[in-house]
Structure 1
Amino acid sequence: MLRMSISGLAERWQLFVGATLSVCLGVALVQSSLLLLISAATLDPPAGLSPAERLRFSDSAEASVALLGVTLGFSAFLAVFIISSTFAFTVAQRRRDLALLRLVGGGRRHVRRLLMGEALLLGLIGTVTGVPAGLAVMALQTRLLVGFGFVPGGFTGQWRDWILGASAGVGLGLALAGVLVAARRAARVRPLDALRDPDAGRVMTAGRWLTGLFFAAGAVALIILAPVGGPAGGQALTMNVSLCAAVALSLLAPVLVPGVARLIPAAGVTGMLARANLRDEVRRSAATAAPLIVLIGVVFGQVGASASFAAAGVAEQRRGTAADLVVETTGPGFPAVAGVASFSSETETPLRITTGRGDTADTLIQSALVVEPAAFARAHPGSGYLQALRGNAVAGGPGREGFSRGDTVTAHFAGTDHSLPVVAEVPTTIGGGAALLVPAGLLPADQLAGAPTRTFVTLAPGADPARVTAELSTVGTVTGVDDWLRADAEARTSTSDDIMLIVLGLGGLYALIGVVNAVVIAAAARGREFAAARATGLTRLQVLRAALLESSAVTMIGVFLGALAAAGTYVAVLATTSAVTGTATLDLPWTLMAVLAVVAFVVTGLTSLLTSWSATRVAPVSLLGAWE
């Protein structure tokens, strides 16, 4: 069987190039992400850092670990999804060959062993090429981590010898897992049925129905739970809706793609031929649309949710801020300026805070905001009753985690630990913020001397804004409150946006490769189909045009179904922002989404033209005669 597996790979290598490349990239991404994840998680901060620098280092290290963890999981998911769909389509294209094997005496176990042998060989090739490719990917990921500020300059991933065993396990595991279901299904097909109709067989099996409906139910459950998850939990749940919905729609694609295809108008002979192929060649159309659905669904959903939550955060802060100007300085203190009715100075500083007790104790460096309670309440309407915020008492800030009013936290400052009762709390916000509100006078002056301070200024009635702005400009940087809120929101979400950009960039490239792979596999087995079309009177140009129209229609359907998956995320966004902020917010980056859709059409169109042109180079009589 191993010899037959080798011969099968050699004779039909065009069908397996994409699968091998998918395994190679899967091994490279998993290997690189795993090595960098361990290196980042064990990275020690340099000696001599100030508390503020240590906070920034800690935040960056946590962000890098989160980024690499998400990349690792997303890469593994895409690898399994793309490789399994590729193998399933490849096996379906070889139903006639497998039927002949059964007729000459091969049993079901021989078919399974043949396909598993091919998968083993592909896994070995993918692993051998993926290990060195992983070094190149690790260099690229390291440059991205350093360039986006997640790790300090000079950071490098540390090589570990055991990664060779892990990479081999990943490569072989991905290949074998990808072919396992397809091999079992191929072995159950009756050989005479496959010979009578090489494309026979149910595309929608009971397992596929159950899995697709399971993921669809998961997407619905996430939409229902997101509004009650709070600011942080709601956003996390929302981000996963499009992933579940995209997987569900891709599994149900054999039913959905022909149904949507019937709605597409067809003009002329080539248009009718393209629509007929979409309707009749269900397996091919679904296999091509599936990676597109995942790509469009995940990217549209993630970028739309991220932009919407950022816009909701800005709107929420604006409703909770009563000021005209924001002055940015360092250290506490603000001078009296004519024309200023009131102001609230808020100095931000890092604190090492311990929450919980005993085994549940958790110590983190978090952000604290030094405020004057009455002024803070005037500048931020709805912040609640803060009169008890005095002495050594503190209040929970808008970004608190792990404690609430009535608890006691331990903060380290002035060289010792201090037990601070939490006597109040302001509402949590979708945009986050400081974990603690600290009354002025609690922290030592030397700790606040160089700390960033923002002062929300309300102008007196009749005051000249230009004159007041000019006078305040001698103190610090003056910005209109709306402009400052937008810049602050961008700064708060910059880390998560960078993480999303890197993850979706790598994942999107991987998914596009899956799309190209599906188009190439489909065209590789269409030589006789194209020859029959030309023998009936169609010119080569008409055949190419029909193939391009079919590819464009599949892309259109894939984009539509992917956008439908993303729409589930948008429903969760509207419900979550309404529950958290009181106002439903949806802000979509239409330009980015349009560019991605155009790229999908260009990539699938060019791939279809090139593969169809290659498949129609041979004279149709030769192909038809060879088949007979």
Structure 2
Amino acid sequence: MLSLATIRRRWASFVGTFTALCLGVTILCMTALVLTSAQPEAPERYAGTAVLVQSPAVDQSDGTFTENRPWSPERTRELVGQLGSVPGVSAAVPDRSFYAQVVIDGRPVDNPGGELRGHPWSSAALAPDKLTAGQAPTGGREVALDASLGLDPGDRVTLLTATGPAAYTVSGTVDSTSFYLPDAAAEALSPGVRVIGLVTDKGADPAAVASAAAKVVGKDGKVLHGDSVKDLEAKTAAKTRWIGLQILIAMASLTAFVSVFVVASTFAFSIVQRRREFGLLRTIGATPRQIRRMMYGESLTVGVAAGVAGVVLGSALAPVLGGLLVDGGLEPPGFTVRMQALPLLGSFALGLVVALAGVWSASRRAARIAPLEALREAALEKRPMTRWRWIGAIGFTGLGLLLVLVAAGSSSDEMINNALYAAMALIVGLTLFAPAVIPLVVKAVWWPLGRLSGATSMVARESSLTAVRRTASTAAPVLVTVGFAVLIAGMFQLRASGYALEETVSQEAVSVVTPHDTPGLSDAAVSDVADGASLLPTQLYAGGTDHIGAVGVSDGAIAKARDKMTVKSGSLDALKGDNTMIVRSSTAAWLGWTSGRTVPVTFEDGRTVQVKVVAEITDDSSTASVLLTREAVRAHSPSALTPVVYVSGKQRPDLPASLGAESMSTSEYASRTDAEDDRLVQIFLVILIGMSLGYTCLAIANTLMMATADRAEDFGVLRLSGATRRQVLRIVAAESALSVGIGTGLGLSIALIALLGMRSGLSSQLGTEVHLNLPWSTMLVTIGLCLALALASSVLPARMALRRTGARAAL
């Protein structure tokens, strides 16, 4: 009952807590509903096929989302013959996928996400895709393509493949986005096969067919039917979904953390305001345990109300979040959010846990207040920093700085999590340090202005020094907001530039040629670049489920990189022909390969070839595990695309638009974030900074509104002392601006130190200067928002308090 009475009496003090918990439960509910709804989807290309056979899976523990090991053309023909004779199967159809993109009006038609849309005509039966006009392609230079492109049968069209642009005749149009070539032409572009679809007889039992097919395939694949067809989801789609999952998990984690932070800071500040109240309760016989129970009751009451409101809002907004993820490419088209009871109940329960966790520390402090505190009138804090607060402040700040250093040397995926953990640790550590640091800063700021300012400045200064916890409680969220936003934005920006510079520096490039409206560069685009060095990525498969990332290097690339390579054994000059390779030392140790040994390696066409290890290099000599000749990769992977060409000549290449390539300087390349992963990282960044801004701004507003509402008597004293209303409001505004300035300065200092350390590490790692470009737009918007919110949350309540006659009557 006492908890309910306190909430009714001090409802303004609980508005921030209620809002923080309500928003927290809303976001938790939204993310939980989306997470439980986000499941792998079977590709639409196989919508008309009940039973499919998938090639052997590979180990995915390295997080590279590598496609399954392909069958060779010879093994594919053998399996097709055996599966075609299974009872109930009318046809076994091998499906091949390869890069194909149409060129219209001299430019490639945009291909979002780089989806492989080229397929053999026979696989159209698996969808099934129907002809809308014309006939099936039969000749080597015929194609059936999407009717929405506006082309008619008989038209001539340029089709861009991995080898370059070529003229084709439109044999027919279909009702899908695929490009269908004759089976023989498709096999030339994609010899390896990963999926064989079984077209069943009418009335055949899919389960019986699947069982019989499994006996045929044995351990050389996996038979899928029913829900298991979802396993055919493309690895690129699975990776995108995984990145979306990381965003949702980060949203939920940050929400829970910052909700606890806001609730804890609110209750901690309320302890200072209610010190005499708790002392009076102790005087009339209340035990420390009863004080704790009362505060838990207050938090639980607010938590229940906020939880109910949050679940309602989360249920309503979850479809909106799902739509945004679809628009951002983090979920496939057609994704819908399904309402389920478990995520709703879990979000509500977690909201209560957050509420109770946030009040835990404050309730312990309240229980330690002595009865004599009821007689205390002074506002001066006796011990703003306790021993345990010092220990916690040093520990968490040190941990945060350590995680910043760890994040600087992490991979792109690990850096996201490490940066988030670093920010969380710094939030806690710097918030705990605030009461000790802020008085020193206040004195330093006001000392040069003390002799030039009047009574207003003096009152603002002394008020800030006397009410250390109020100043600290206001400055700490600003410190957190500015520091977190600038640090995270700067780290992502610096790291992105570093990755691009690492590539250009390693190749000593003056300019680069990159894809434009295409997922990669064709051989025609690469060959048109003089003085160019390029890498052609591929995958190798060795022994069971092992797979190795490899690149085919051009003569120019190996010539420019050889001075930076450290050879442990063998010779780089021996890399020639189709059956030699250079291996990193860690890969050689893992697979048991040594220089001079010939080992079996399976390529992207499914064929296993004996390849000789001609050299072993140190791990820091190459980012790829295996180096092959470019000709070897092209011979076994006809649809592989080149990601970039590094040009050493001073003159930029001038390439025709039909090749889907563009030239730019290395600095332009370093600052660009056109790749899909970079775009998703930017989404991740916006979400993290946006959420941190929202919550910490809420803490700023809540603390100032609570503080201002509790200072009505102080304002009355100032008015009786002769201060005008305008002077009182200027004092309040000066205090708020001072708090924002202190928090901004400390936050920027921490962020700048961390970013400079990160820049130094990247420069040492790359052997060249990495420039630090501060995120000025993020910084200015954040500071301006904090200042505007602080002034509005303090001046407006103060103005209302001055108008109330009750404030003066209380004197």
Instruction: Give the TM-score of the pair, scaled to structure 2.
Output: 0.67
Classify 1:224/1:22 alpha carbon distance in 2 versus 1 (closer, same or farther; 3 Å): closer
Q: 5+ residue gaps in structure 2?
A: 46-95, 99-113, 116-233, 594-600
- Tell me whether 1:43 sits opposite 2:40 in the alignment: yes
The CA distance in 1 between the partners of 2:318 and 2:16, in whole Å, is 22
| 1:209 corresponds to | 390
Classify 1:286/1:324 alpha carbon distance in 2 versus 1 (closer, same or farther; 3 Å): closer
The structure with higher relative contact order (CA 8 Å, sep 6+) is 1
| 1:219 corresponds to | 400
- Tell me whether 1:309 sits opposite 2:495 in the alignment: yes
| 1:28 corresponds to | 26
The CA distance in 2 between the partners of 1:212 and 1:453, in whole Å, is 47
Does the 8 Å CA contact 2:483/2:748 hold for their aligned counterparts?
Answer: yes
1:312-391 alignment runs, 5 A limit: 312-323=498-509, 326-327=512-513, 328=515, 330-333=521-524, 342-348=531-537, 351=539, 369-372=551-554, 374-380=555-561, 382=563, 384=565, 386-387=572-573, 389=575, 391=578
The CA distance in 2 between the partners of 1:274 and 1:354, in whole Å, is 71
- Using the TM superposition, name which of 207-216 and 388-397 deviates more: 388-397
Match among 720, 735, 748 for residue 550 of structure 1: 735
- Tell me whether 1:515 sits opposite 2:700 in the alignment: yes
Using the TM superposition, give the Cα deviation of residue 324 of structure 1 relative to its aligned residue in structure 2, in angstroms.
5.0
| 1:185 corresponds to | 365
Does the 8 Å CA contact 2:713/2:810 hold for their aligned counterparts?
Answer: no
Q: Which amino acid aligns with 1:528?
A: E
Q: Which amino acid aligns with 2:479?
A: I
Classify 1:617/1:131 alpha carbon distance in 2 versus 1 (closer, same or farther; 3 Å): same
Classify 1:405/1:382 alpha carbon distance in 2 versus 1 (closer, same or farther; 3 Å): farther
Does the 8 Å CA contact 2:712/2:802 hold for their aligned counterparts?
Answer: yes
Q: Deviation string for 1:537-558 (max 9, x for gaps)? A: 1111111111011001001111
Does the 8 Å CA contact 1:346/1:453 hold for their aligned counterparts?
Answer: yes
Match among 46, 50, 63 for residue 243 of structure 2: 63
Match among 291, 310, 328 for residue 111 of structure 1: 291
| 1:404 corresponds to | 587
Q: Which amino acid aligns with 2:431?
A: S
Classify 1:387/1:143 alpha carbon distance in 2 versus 1 (closer, same or farther; 3 Å): farther
The structure number with the bigger radius of gyration is 2
Does the 8 Å CA contact 2:536/2:641 hold for their aligned counterparts?
Answer: yes
Does the 8 Å CA contact 2:4/2:298 hold for their aligned counterparts?
Answer: yes
Q: Deviation string for 1:28-73 (max 9, x for gaps)? A: 1222223323444x32352549476434313311211121122221
Match among 169, 175, 178 for residue 349 of structure 2: 169
Using the TM superposition, give the Cα deviation of residue 487 of structure 1 relative to its aligned residue in structure 2, in angstroms.
6.2
Classify 1:316/1:196 alpha carbon distance in 2 versus 1 (closer, same or farther; 3 Å): same
Match among 272, 277, 302 for residue 92 of structure 1: 272
Q: Deviation string for 1:93-145 (max 9, x for gaps)? A: 12222222222222222212211111110110111111012224434432332
Superposition RMSD on alpha carbons, in Å?
Answer: 3.5
Q: Which amino acid aligns with 1:63?
A: I
| 1:8 corresponds to | 6
- Tell me whether 1:413 sits opposite 2:413 in the alignment: no
1:410-449 alignment runs, 5 A limit: 413-415=604-606, 424=616, 437-443=627-633, 447-449=637-639
The CA distance in 2 between the partners of 1:177 and 1:239, in whole Å, is 21
Classify 1:612/1:448 alpha carbon distance in 2 versus 1 (closer, same or farther; 3 Å): farther
Q: Which amino acid aligns with 1:67?
A: I
Match among 539, 542, 550 for residue 724 of structure 2: 539
1:562-581 alignment runs, 5 A limit: 562-581=747-766
The CA distance in 1 between the partners of 2:247 and 2:497, in whole Å, is 23
Does the 8 Å CA contact 2:535/2:630 hold for their aligned counterparts?
Answer: no
Equivalenced residues, count: 600
Using the TM superposition, give the Cα deviation of residue 9 of structure 1 relative to its aligned residue in structure 2, in angstroms.
0.7
Q: Which amino acid aligns with 1:80?
A: V
Using the TM superposition, give the Cα deviation of residue 154 of structure 1 relative to its aligned residue in structure 2, in angstroms.
2.5
Q: Which amino acid aligns with 2:641?
A: A
Classify 1:447/1:249 alpha carbon distance in 2 versus 1 (closer, same or farther; 3 Å): same
Using the TM superposition, give the Cα deviation of residue 405 of structure 1 relative to its aligned residue in structure 2, in angstroms.
4.1
Q: Which amino acid aligns with 2:750?
A: A
2:731 counterpart SS class:
helix
1:442-457 alignment runs, 5 A limit: 442-443=632-633, 447-449=637-639, 451-452=641-642, 454-457=644-647
The CA distance in 2 between the partners of 1:99 and 1:616, in whole Å, is 29
- Tell me whether 1:604 sits opposite 2:794 in the alignment: no
The CA distance in 2 between the partners of 1:237 and 1:173, in whole Å, is 25
The CA distance in 2 between the partners of 1:158 and 1:112, in whole Å, is 40
1:203 counterpart SS class:
coil
The CA distance in 2 between the partners of 1:272 and 1:247, in whole Å, is 31
The CA distance in 1 between the partners of 2:504 and 2:678, in whole Å, is 17
Q: Which amino acid aligns with 1:343?
A: G
| 1:129 corresponds to | 309
Does the 8 Å CA contact 1:231/1:580 hold for their aligned counterparts?
Answer: no
The CA distance in 2 between the partners of 1:532 and 1:616, in whole Å, is 11
| 2:15 corresponds to | 17
The CA distance in 1 between the partners of 2:667 and 2:398, in whole Å, is 41
Q: Which amino acid aligns with 2:43?
A: P
- Tell me whether 1:271 sits opposite 2:457 in the alignment: yes
The CA distance in 2 between the partners of 1:13 and 1:494, in whole Å, is 43
Match among 746, 760, 767 for residue 561 of structure 1: 746
Using the TM superposition, give the Cα deviation of residue 290 of structure 1 relative to its aligned residue in structure 2, in angstroms.
1.7
Does the 8 Å CA contact 2:474/2:700 hold for their aligned counterparts?
Answer: yes
Using the TM superposition, give the Cα deviation of residue 92 of structure 1 relative to its aligned residue in structure 2, in angstroms.
2.3
The CA distance in 1 between the partners of 2:586 and 2:684, in whole Å, is 27
| 1:154 corresponds to | 334
The CA distance in 1 between the partners of 2:393 and 2:527, in whole Å, is 65
2:40 counterpart SS class:
coil
| 2:137 corresponds to | none
2:532 counterpart SS class:
strand
Aligned identity (percent) is 28
Classify 1:21/1:472 alpha carbon distance in 2 versus 1 (closer, same or farther; 3 Å): closer
1:150 counterpart SS class:
coil
Using the TM superposition, give the Cα deviation of residue 166 of structure 1 relative to its aligned residue in structure 2, in angstroms.
1.4
1:344 counterpart SS class:
strand
Classify 1:220/1:505 alpha carbon distance in 2 versus 1 (closer, same or farther; 3 Å): closer
- Using the TM superposition, name which of 156-165 and 548-557 deviates more: 156-165
In terms of fraction of residues, the more helix-rich structure is 1
Q: Which amino acid aligns with 1:88?
A: A
Classify 1:375/1:489 alpha carbon distance in 2 versus 1 (closer, same or farther; 3 Å): farther
The CA distance in 2 between the partners of 1:417 and 1:519, in whole Å, is 70
Classify 1:522/1:484 alpha carbon distance in 2 versus 1 (closer, same or farther; 3 Å): closer
The CA distance in 1 between the partners of 2:412 and 2:346, in whole Å, is 38
